[in-house]
Amino acid sequence: MPSIKSLDDLFLHTLKDVYYAERQILKALPKMARAAQDPALRDSFQLHREQTQQQIERLQQVFEELGKRAQGVTCEAINGLIEECDELLEMAPEPSPVRDAGLVASAQAVEHYEIARYGTLIAWARGSGQKQIVRLLEETLAEEKKTDALLSEMAERSTNQEARGAA
Ligand code: FE
Ligand code: FE
Ligand code: FE
């Protein structure tokens, strides 16, 4: 395993990590959309899949800016988060509002991982004056944050539905 000696090495490694993560997310989102019962949740997964496709392209532009080949490194964190989502779907095999709430929870964990990664990459790129890279990554970070906020709203709504159902 090649060593990380400079902040440039670390930046590139982290970029590869999030590149891998985005590609796994791209594969996971259609499955999550199919599993969702609430049409609004399904739509939001489908929309975010399209955004993820663009985010992957933005990352490819960042690699290009750096004069590096776009390449991923295995991110065990995202693999684990996606595995948790798969487990949830096994534990709640039937479409239901509760399963939807679990899907929202899984999706939020994914968004938070991305927000953490992009936040750090942006700070490093800003610190080293790489304006174009900052711009590209900020565009994606804004989408991730918006998605997270939307999921928070859905999480709140699902508890309201549950409360009404129980009443
Ligand atoms: Fe993303
Ligand atoms: Fe990672
Ligand atoms: Fe995302």
Do the domain assignments include residue 157? Answer: yes
**How large a percentage of the chain has pLDDT more than 70?**
95
Do the domain assignments include residue 69? Answer: yes
CA of 161 to the centre of ligand 3 (A): 25
pTM of the model: 0.94
The number of distinct structural domains making up the chain is 1
> Which ligand approaches the C-alpha of residue 149 most closely?
3
DSSP 138: H
Do the domain assignments include residue 2? Answer: no
Residues with CB under 5 A from ligand 1 (ion): 22, 52, 55, 114
pLDDT tens-digit series, residues 8-25 = 999 999 999 999 999 999
Exposed / middle / buried, residue 50 (Cβ in 10 Å: 0-12, 13-18, 19+) = exposed
CA of 2 to the centre of ligand 3 (A): 29
CA of 20 to the centre of ligand 3 (A): 13
Please state, in angstroms and rounded to a whole number, the distance separating the CA atoms of residues 81 and 106. Answer: 7
Do the domain assignments include residue 1? Answer: no
Q: Give the number of residues written for the chain.
A: 167
| Predicted pLDDT of residue 159 | 76
CA of 6 to the centre of ligand 1 (A): 26
What is the CATH number for 63? 1.20.1260.10
Do the domain assignments include residue 98? Answer: yes
Residues with CB under 5 A from ligand 2 (ion): 17, 75, 77
The range of the structural domain enclosing residue 150 comes to 7-166
pLDDT tens-digit series, residues 87-130 = 999 999 999 999 999 999 999 999 999 999 999 999 999 999 99
